[in-house]
Structure 1
């Protein structure tokens, strides 16, 4: 059976091969809204970057990072306007991959080249020849990928979700733990405990990550770094640069220029 790369993946009931590759560039694909599928997926941007949103978290995949999405997970993919996205779709049972949670994976230079090559193959590639051997190497490399990336866990508690939405929509506002606790009618100790239980992060670290995620599209469109720092609630430019580099591995200026370590 011949499959077109322009087909909507939602139309597939099963994969044409246990491992299937797909690539897209900005002019020729509109990502669907929230959806789920019966196979695992690795979304990887060889240019630009992407975000994967699930009900539980936001996963940010900068260059040299990919997002693993297990079967059955409701998700939405958001990407930059210049992103070139290459995705792997896997039958996890065939390959024995038991990853049951979304995560950001570190993509090695070898894995990068393997993904680029594999995603150029026809969907009905020959599994018994060299393409089948490439599949095995690719799966072996994927299984060795380590988790590393920017993740923003999202609370399920309605009160905490409202707080997180306020901080997400107003990143320059200095919401204090005391003010937010008072708005809920609980102690700061109680709010701190609930936040940790719901997100796995402390309040200040969660707010820090939310601000950095807000900074990414501003830097991408060319805003001055000083203006971005202020828009994200940082009065100190040096503090913003240091925190940005701690979480992403590059400075804001390097990110804006597309300079990333290999």
Structure 2
């Protein structure tokens, strides 16, 4: 209940009821739904969701994004999306109106978050909702926006096809990344040739079927690695018959081995 005895309003309801943000950047830790909203929704402001710990997964009509710990996802205004996450994920969200839109993009981006930006997001989440724009708080916000504008993008995106023939195929593989069914076998029930399906797949996603499936498997591995599962078990769950093949594919995709990736996350956590 609220202090006046009326039923308390949930943060999600309060956010949806806003006609405009109280400040160009809005992100008080206790005034926002810092939880994953697993239903499709959109809002008239850009959103930044920072994974302090755990792994976020953002689903849009055209792509699937994986946001590992100490990264963030930038979601442009009016983008229909839904968010899922692993158990124990801790999120900090910011909402930015047009005046504070420091990244001019029409689709989502996964951003690397350096220690300074993490501290800025954390500090900002404790400011009053109606922070003083022309004082110290306003200057902190400007530094936050400058850091967000220059944050590097990370390739954690899996493009999704619009073609109905491919939607079911991709959904099956997302649910079962270890499925080794070849494109020829997928083409048969669809009544098209393997060559035609391959051409459509590349046109719709910008990737070959093989490259798309490998990226899917690598992105699918991240939540399991973050949960502390054995690398060998993760490799098998992602459809790799040998640990060495999985490590090689992981290193090719992310520029470092699974062990190096985990150590990097641990190091980042130690300075938050």
Q: TM-score, normalised by structure 1?
A: 0.87
Aligned-pair CA distance for 1:19: 0.7
Aligned with 1:57 (options 39, 59, 63)? 63
Query: C-alpha offsets along residues 153-180 of structure 1, whole Å, 9 cap, x if unaligned?
Result: 1111111011111222222221112222
Gaps of 5+ in 2: 1-7
Instruction: Check whether the contact 1:63–1:260 (CA below 8 A) recurs between aligned residues.
Output: no
* Per-residue deviation, residues 22-45 of structure 1 (Å, max 9, x unmatched): 447xx9856352210000011111
State whether structure 2 residue 206 is matched by structure 1 residue 239.
Answer: no
SS in 2 for 1:186: coil
Q: CA RMSD in A?
A: 2.6
Report 1:128-143 matches (<5 A). 128-143=134-149
Please name the residue that 1:169 is paired with: 175
State the 1:241 CA deviation: 1.8
In the alignment, the residues of structure 1 paired with residue 131 and residue 265 of structure 2 have an alpha-carbon distance, to the nearest angstrom, of 35
State the SS of the aligned residue for 1:156. coil
Quote the residue 1:70 is aligned against. 76
User: Do the aligned partners of 1:23 and 1:84 also contact (CA within 8 Å) in 2?
Assistant: no
More deviation, 141-150/93-102? 93-102
Q: Which moved more, 1:88-97 or 1:124-133?
A: 88-97
Residues 165-215 of structure 1: CA deviation (Å, up to 9, x unaligned): 122222222111222223323233322221111112221111112222332
Q: Deviations over 1:74-107 (max 9, x none)?
A: 1111222222211111012454643221111222
Instruction: Give the Cα separation in 1 of the matches to 2:201 and 2:265.
Output: 35
Counterpart pick for 2:52 among 46, 55, 58? 46
Residues of 1 paired with 2:216 and 2:102: CA distance? 35
- 1:187 is aligned to 2:193: yes
Task: Point out the more displaced range, 136-145 or 7-16.
Answer: 7-16
Partner of 1:84: 90
Q: SS state of the match for residue 42, structure 1?
A: strand
Please say if 1:7 is aligned against 2:18.
Answer: no
Cα deviation, residue 71, structure 1:
0.6
Kindly indicate whether the alpha-carbon contact (under 8 Å) linking 1:222 and 1:256 is maintained by their aligned counterparts in 2. no
Report the secondary structure of 2:27's partner residue.
Answer: strand
The TM-score, its normalising length taken from structure 2, stands at 0.84
The range that moved more, 178-187 or 31-40, is 178-187
The 8 Å contact of residues 51 and 58 in structure 1, kept in 2 or not, is answered as yes
Name the SS for the 1:59 alignment partner: strand
Alignment coverage as a number of residue pairs: 257
Contact residue 52 and residue 92 of structure 2 kept, 8 A: yes
Q: What is aligned with 1:104?
A: 110
